[in-house]
Structure 1
Amino acid sequence: MASSDYTLGPRPAYLVADMDEGELKAKLEKCLGKPVKKSAFSIGHRGAALMFPEHTKESYIAAAQMGAGIVECDVTFTKDKQLVCRHSQSDLHTTTDVLAYPDLAAKCSVPFTPADPDTGEKAQVECRTSDFTLEEFKRLKGKMDGGNPMATTPEEYMNGTPGWRTDLYASNGTLMTHAESIALFKELGVKMTPELKAPAVEMPFQGFSQQEYAQKMLDEYKAAGVKPSEVFPQSFNIEDVKYWIANEPKFGEQAVYLDSRMYDDENWAPSLSDMKALKDAGVEYIAPPLFAMVTVNENGEIVPSDYAKQAKAAGLKMIAWTLERSGPLASGGGWYYQSIEDVTNNDGDALKLLDVLAKDVGVVGVFSDWPATTTFYANCMNIK
C-alpha cells in the first residue's frame, strides 16, 4: 500500500482532544492531519476489532488501511485439521452466525439451550471450529464478538454486541483460513503475527499432536514463500515457543511468548532470574497484558512496573496488548487498566499510557483493536 492509501479517521483527534492539558497533548495536537506511514509498532489485534468483526478479511484490510505494520491471525483448526483464523477454538457461537444455521448449530459441542428468565439461569452454548469441517466453517460469516446470556432464542443470543462497539461494519464478515490470511497479508504489504491458540479438544486430536500443530502453522508460511523475518509466531504455551526455537530457529528468532502468568496465578511474581532464564532458553520477545507493564508512583504518575524493568534488564524485547479493547475509560478502564485505574478517567488516557509504554517501558510494538491510534502515535513520535 502506498502512503496515500493510509487513513486514520477521526478517532486520533478525538482522543487527543480528550486528553488532560500538558506537554504530550500539545505535541500530539501538532501531528493531527499530517500524512502517515505504516509502522511495525502498530499491530492490528485480530485486525481492527473495535468496529469490524474480528479475524475477517474486512477487519484485516481495515487494520492495514490504518497503517498497522503487523496484523494478527489467531490460529486454530477445524474437524478436518485445517488451520483457520479464530481467536479461540470455541468461540464460533459469539464471533460468527453459526446459530443461524440449524444443521450446523446441531453439531455444536454444546447445542443452544435457552436462558430461563424465571430462575435467572443463563443460556448455554459452545460451538468449536473442531465441530465443523473447513467446508462447513466457510459457510459462516463473522460478526462482532458478543452473546446475550439471557437469550431465549438463538437469534436473541447472537444479538449481543457491546454498546461501545458497533454493528455498522458487520454485514459481510468473511472468514479466512490461515493460508488465505497469509496471501492477503502479502498483498497488503504487512508483516504477520500468528498466534497458535490452545486447543479446546484433547490432544492429540485424531492423531494430530501439539507439535504437529505448531509445525503446520509455520509450514504454511514456508509454502507461501514468506521470509521468517516477516513473521512473529506467538503462543501462551512456552513449550510451543521452545519448539519453534529448537526446530525452526529462523522463525524462532522472532517467536513471542505471550505471558499470562500474572493472572493465571495470583501468587506469581516476576523476577530477574526468571526473565534471564527465558532469555537463556532463546526467547527474544515477551508480551504481557498492558497492566503488567505499568504501575502508579507516589506522585500519581504512570511508570514502568517491576515486571517491565526486569524484562528489560534481561534483554527481552517487549510487546503490549491490547489498546482500544476496553471501551470508554471514564470509570478506570477495566481489566486492561487495573494497575493504573486510579489515574485513568478519560479516553485520552489511552495515549498517555501509550506514551509511557513507548518511552519509559520501551516496548517495540503495541496490539490495538483500532490501529489508527497506535499508527498516529508512532508517526508523531517517529517510531518506524
Structure 2
Amino acid sequence: MPLFMSIRLPLAALALSLSVVPPVAAQEVSRLADVGPRPFHLVDTMKDGPLKDQLAQCKGPFTTKNFSISHRGAPLQFPEHTREGYLAAAQMGAGVIECDVAFTKDRELVCRHAQCDLHTTTDILARPELASKCSQGFQPADPVTGRKASAKCCTSDLTLAEFRSLKPKMDAGNPNATTVADYMNATPRWRTDLYVDRATLMSHKDYIELVKSLGLKFTPELKAPEVTMPFEGSYTQQDYAQQLINEYKAAGIDPKDVYAQSFQLDDVLYWLKAEPAFGAQAVYLDGRDETDTGFDNMKAETWKPSMQELADKGVKILAPPLWMLVTAKDGKIVPSLYAQEAKKASLGLIAWSLERSGPLKDGGGYYYQSIKSVTDRDGDTLSLLDVLARDIGVIGVFSDWPATTTFYANCMKLN
C-alpha cells in the first residue's frame, strides 16, 4: 500500500473534513500537505495590510514543512497523543510530530502530556476496576466548602496493558462536577468530541513506528515525574532519560531526526554527555516564567542561567511559550528582550503553542499575555506567527492545528 493510502484511510474513516489530495506518484506523497479551510479563515479575519494581502494570494499546493511542529497531535479536534491525532497532523503537513513521554507501573514509555492526567484525558474514572488504582479517586465538588472536583490518575498507577485498555477523550475536567459523568463531560465549546470514539492511545514505541513509517521527524518530551524518583526505589531519572533514547536506537532512527525535549535542564545536560549525537539537538523547554518573576518583568540580569550560560553548557535549542518571545510596541507585535538575548547567544528558538487559546477576541489568554493589547481577532494568530518567523527567526512552532503553521511556512517558503 503506498504511503498516501496509509495516511488517508484512517482519516477518511473518521470523516475528517479536509479537501482531497490529488493522486500523485508514491515518492511525492510524503511531502504533500492538506491544510483545509482554517488557514484561509484566519487570513480573512486578519487586519488589513500587506501581510494579509500576501497570504491571501497563497493558494498552494502545500507540502510538509519541518517548521510546522505537531503539538500533541492535532488536539484542536482530536484527543491528544492518539494515533488519529498524529495522522491528522501528518496530513496537515507537520514535519515534526510530538510525543510527550511518561512511564507506566511496569516502566514502559507511553505518550501522555503529563504523568498524572489520565483522569482528564481518558475514561479511567468511568472504569471502576481501573479507577480504583488511581493515586486519588474522584472527589466531587462541594459548593458549601468551595472544594473543587478532583482526581489524580497516573500512568504509573497502571501497567502498559491496562493503559492500552483505556479510551482517550478530549482533555478536560469540570471543576464544579458532583458526579463522574459531569466531570468527564467538559470539552470546551471551541473543540469537538466528533472523533473521540475511534481514537487510539499510543505507547512511545507505537509512536516511533508510526512516525518512522510516515517519513517524519520526532520530538519526544520527557515529562517531569509526578511520583518520587527513583520510582519504586530503583528507576532513576537518568534511567528514564536513557530509556527514551534507547527506544530510538533500537528502532534504527537517525539521531538527526530526533529533537528530544525536557523542561528539566539536567535531562538535556545528561543527553549532551551520555548521548551526544542525540543531545546535539536536544531542546530545553523554558518554563521559568512560572517560577522566576524576572521573566515576567523581562529583567535579563536576573535570569539564571543566562542565555549565554545555557549556550556555554552546550544547549543549542531553547523553547519558551509564545508570549515570552514578543511584546507590544506602538500598536504592533515586536521581538521581546528574551528573543533578542537568545539570538545574541546563538540559541535556536522554537515556540509553543499556537492554536491552543481558543477564540482570540478577548486577548488570547496565557499564550498572548504580552501582546494582549494588540490581540482581538483570530487572524492575529498569523500576525504573531509572522513576527516569530521573520523578525525573530524561530526554527519551528508547535501548533494544536498544524495546518496553520504548514500554510504559513509554505507561503513564506520556509523549510
- Report the TM-score range of the alignment, normalised by the length of the smaller protein: over 0.9
2:114 counterpart SS class: coil
**Correspondence for 1:16:** 43
**Correspondence for 1:295:** 327
Shift of 1:4: 7.5
**Correspondence for 2:309:** 277
CA contact (8 A) 2:30 2:215 kept: no
Aligned with 1:250 (options 271, 277, 284): 277
Deviations 1:117-153 (A, max 9, x none): 4444221211000111111101001110001112122
Shift of 1:219: 0.2
Alignment partner of 1:95 is 2:109: no
What is the one-letter code of the residue matched to 1:295? T
CA contact (8 A) 1:4 1:35 kept: no
Aligned with 1:138 (options 155, 164, 181): 164
Shift of 1:280: 1.1
Between the two proteins, what is the percent identity of the paired residues? 60
CA contact (8 A) 2:350 2:396 kept: yes
Aligned mates of 2:68, 2:271 — CA distance in 1:
24
Shift of 1:43: 0.1
CA contact (8 A) 2:33 2:93 kept: yes
Aligned mates of 1:120, 1:277 — CA distance in 2:
45
Segments ≥4 residues shifted beyond 2 Å: 3-6, 116-121, 267-273
CA contact (8 A) 1:3 1:36 kept: no
**Correspondence for 2:6:** none
CA contact (8 A) 1:115 1:121 kept: yes
CA RMSD of aligned residues (A): 1.3
Aligned mates of 1:152, 1:280 — CA distance in 2:
52
Mapping of residues 1-384 of structure 1, within 5 Å: 2=29, 5-32=32-59, 34-206=60-232, 207-268=234-295, 269-271=299-301, 274-297=306-329, 299-384=330-415
Gaps of 5+ in 2: 4-28
What is the one-letter code of the residue matched to 1:6? A
CA contact (8 A) 2:283 2:319 kept: yes
CA contact (8 A) 2:211 2:218 kept: yes
Describe the shift of the 1:19–1:381 C-alpha distance in structure 2 as closer, same or farther (beyond 3 A). same
What is the one-letter code of the residue matched to 2:170? M
Moved more, 154-163 or 41-50: 154-163
Aligned mates of 2:126, 2:288 — CA distance in 1:
37
Deviations 1:158-208 (A, max 9, x none): 101111111111112211100110000011111000000000000000210
1:73 counterpart SS class: strand
CA contact (8 A) 1:302 1:356 kept: yes
Deviations 1:7-30 (A, max 9, x none): 111100100000011000000000
CA contact (8 A) 2:271 2:282 kept: yes
Aligned mates of 1:150, 1:264 — CA distance in 2:
28
Describe the shift of the 1:333–1:112 C-alpha distance in structure 2 as closer, same or farther (beyond 3 A). same
1:341 counterpart SS class: helix
Aligned mates of 2:350, 2:381 — CA distance in 1:
16
Aligned mates of 2:271, 2:147 — CA distance in 1:
44
Moved more, 270-279 or 51-60: 270-279
What is the one-letter code of the residue matched to 2:153? C
Deviations 1:331-383 (A, max 9, x none): 10000000000000000000000000000011000000000000000000000
Shift of 1:262: 2.0
TM-score w.r.t. length of structure 2: 0.90
CA contact (8 A) 2:120 2:172 kept: yes
Give the total of aligned pairs: 382
Aligned mates of 1:255, 1:325 — CA distance in 2:
24
Shift of 1:154: 1.2
Aligned mates of 1:308, 1:6 — CA distance in 2:
30
1:43 counterpart SS class: strand
Gaps of 5+ in 1: none
2:353 counterpart SS class: strand
Aligned mates of 1:89, 1:134 — CA distance in 2:
13
Aligned mates of 2:178, 2:306 — CA distance in 1:
49
